[in-house]
Amino acid sequence: MNWMGTQITGVSAAQTRDAVRDWILLDSEPSVDLFCNPAYVTNIHKVDEQLVLATNAGSLTTNLKATIPEYGEVWYDPKAMTNALSLANMTDKHHVPFHAMNDNALVALTPQGPTHFVCGPGNLYYKNPNHKKAILVETLHENMKFYTPRQVGRARQAKKLLHTLACPTVQDLKSIIRMNSIKNCPVTIDDINLADKIFGKDIDSLKGKTT
């Protein structure tokens, strides 16, 4: 399926329309960001300029823009087929490594944590937030709601230790703790696991180890 027009192989046209309106694609083809699902954006408003886009399904014209929390301003048209982020625009904002061996995904490394766009039908890289008020990434504040202040404090301590040791891998850090290589270290394996759940994968570590 081309994100602007044709159908996913093996899926009916109706199913295609319903499914892709919930998707957020990360695509190398478009040079603009365009959304159609109002649940993913805020501040929908008219602008003086106009977007005219040629697609497989015909021409699309809009003078509406909206804001994606934690990302920025995008074009908006409720008649568009799906929500698409330009890979070129995303790489201008964030580092986007390709993980082929593990989950065949493009990963946008944002300050709020990594956002995975997995390879799905039609070899399209997409994310399905699957939430009525979804935003592009899970925020740190939302993650913290599920833990006590004491647990968050322990997780912060583990993250601080990771950076103090020049960002080893999580598995290496766990090995250091198990071998008691740091005398009187207050950080435990459980604290490291908490940090991973609350803060996500450490961006500094990923940037240093990903090509």
Parse the chain into domains and list their residue ranges.
13-136, 142-209
- The dihedrals phi and psi of 27, each to the nearest 5 degrees, come to -125, 140
Task: Give the model confidence (pLDDT) of 43-63 as tens digits.
Answer: 999 999 999 887 666 678 999
Q: Token pair of 147, please? A: 């833990």
The confidence score (pLDDT) of residue 171 equals: 87
What is the CATH architecture of 13-136?
Answer: Beta Barrel (2.40)
| Percent of all residues in the chain with a pLDDT value above 90, rounded to a whole number | 17
Task: Give the model confidence (pLDDT) of 142-167 as tens digits.
Answer: 566 667 888 888 989 998 888 888 87
Enter the pTM of the model. 0.53
The confidence score (pLDDT) of residue 49 equals: 93
For 43, 51, 67, the CA distances from 64, given in Å and listed in that order, are 10, 9, 11
Pinpoint the alpha helices (H) of the chain. 13-20, 87-93, 140-144, 149-164, 170-178, 189-199, 203-209
**Residue in this structure with the two tokens 């696991």, named with its chain if needed:** 193
Average pLDDT, stretch 98-102? 58
The confidence score (pLDDT) of residue 10 equals: 43
